[in-house]
Amino acid sequence: MRVDVVSIFPEYLTPLDLSLIGRARARGVLRLAVHDLRTWTHDVHRTVDDTPYGGGPGMVMRPEPWGEALDALAPADAPTPRLLVPSPAGARFTQAMAHELAAEEHLLFACGRYEGIDQRVLDHAATRMPVTEVSLGDYVLFGGEVAVLVILEAVTRLLPGVLGNAGSLDEESHAHGLLEAPVYTKPPSWRGHEVPEILRSGDHGRIARWRRDEALRRTARRRPDMLAALGAELDKKDRAAL
Ligand code: SAM
């Protein structure tokens, strides 16, 4: 997958060199480039913002550098990327969206700052590529860079070959509309707290049932909205666990 990120703080994206994302880049699974928006400014102050039309507090990112950046990174004669614009007014980022993005060939992220990017940048981009405004949640950050780190981490771990054991993708929270059951490792007893006996029994059938029941109960307690969404998918044994 190819990924381009445009930001006025490219150094904010340096964690993308680390850990499993860094390894995915080193192996060529992820071809990622971070670009400084100011590359596409032409004045001595390398200006990217101006006061908002209509008045009000804060500054708005000017359209010209963004227009040039998108022209350079998504030229008309190349395959069209999907433009992702982090915004608290966007669609909520979910595991389902992470799967959707993991299937794309080329993602292009535009990181806003200040009061955001002049709307015409998005409107113009939408005439030639798919544009998605995406929100991490119902709160406001300083800029889109942290959102890009979160989204790329969720997407990269879904790319084939990135996780050592792809089976873990199938068992974790949000994989099948449930939260994952609690997990344990050695020692069997720690500060008076015991690992549930069943997990040490070696009985894989009972362990799988226990995990499913715990996942159901945990989801019911913490995220009743998720459980309600499963509705008819719950069978008799599932309902008995609740
Ligand atoms: N004036 C904007 C509004 O009220 O919708 C908020 C601008 S915010 C201070 C600056 C930038 O941070 C946004 O353009 C966006 O890139 C990013 N941002 C802030 N909150 C976000 C969130 N919840 N999810 C994704 N990006 C966010």
pLDDT of residue 164: 84
Whether residue 131 sits in one domain with residue 185: no
Pocket lining: 7 vs ligand 1, CB cutoff 6 Å:
no
Residue 163 lies in a domain: no
Ligand 1 mean position, distance from CA 116 (Å):
7
Q: Band of the pLDDT at 59, cuts 50, 70, 90? A: very high
Residue 164 lies in a domain: no
Q: In terms of residue numbers, what domain contains 179?
A: 172-241
Pocket lining: 76 vs ligand 1, CB cutoff 6 Å:
no
Q: What is the pTM of this model?
A: 0.96
pLDDT of residue 170: 86
Q: Which of 129, 156, 183 is the last residue of a domain?
A: 156
Residue 32 lies in a domain: yes
**Residue 61 pairs with which residues in a beta bridge?**
49, 117
Which protein residue's CA is at the shortest distance from atom 23 of ligand 1? 88
pLDDT digits (tens, 9 = 90+) for 11-45: 999 999 999 999 999 999 999 999 999 999 999 99
The answer to whether residues 166 and 33 touch, using CB atoms and an 8 Å cutoff, is no
Q: Which of 114, 129, 156 is the last residue of a domain?
A: 156
Whether residue 192 sits in one domain with residue 148: no
Whether residue 148 sits in one domain with residue 36: yes
Q: Tally the domains of the chain.
A: 2
Residue 165 lies in a domain: no
Whether residue 50 sits in one domain with residue 98: yes
Residue 129 lies in a domain: yes
Whether residue 33 sits in one domain with residue 143: yes
pLDDT of residue 173: 95
Q: Band of the pLDDT at 82, cuts 50, 70, 90? A: very high
Residue 184 lies in a domain: yes
Pocket lining: 80 vs ligand 1, CB cutoff 6 Å:
no
Whether residue 204 sits in one domain with residue 91: no
ipTM value of the model?
Answer: 0.99
Whether residue 101 sits in one domain with residue 196: no
CA nearest to 146, candidates 71, 226, 87: 87
Q: What is the CATH number of the domain that holds 186?
A: 1.10.1270.20
Q: Which of 122, 156, 190 is the last residue of a domain?
A: 156
Q: Band of the pLDDT at 133, cuts 50, 70, 90? A: very high
Whether residue 180 sits in one domain with residue 233: yes
Q: Is pLDDT of 125 > 90?
A: yes
Helices vs strands, H then E, count in the chain: 9, 9
pLDDT of residue 168: 82
112 marked as part of a ligand binding site: yes
pLDDT digits (tens, 9 = 90+) for 148-193: 999 999 999 999 989 988 888 988 999 999 999 999 999 999 999 9
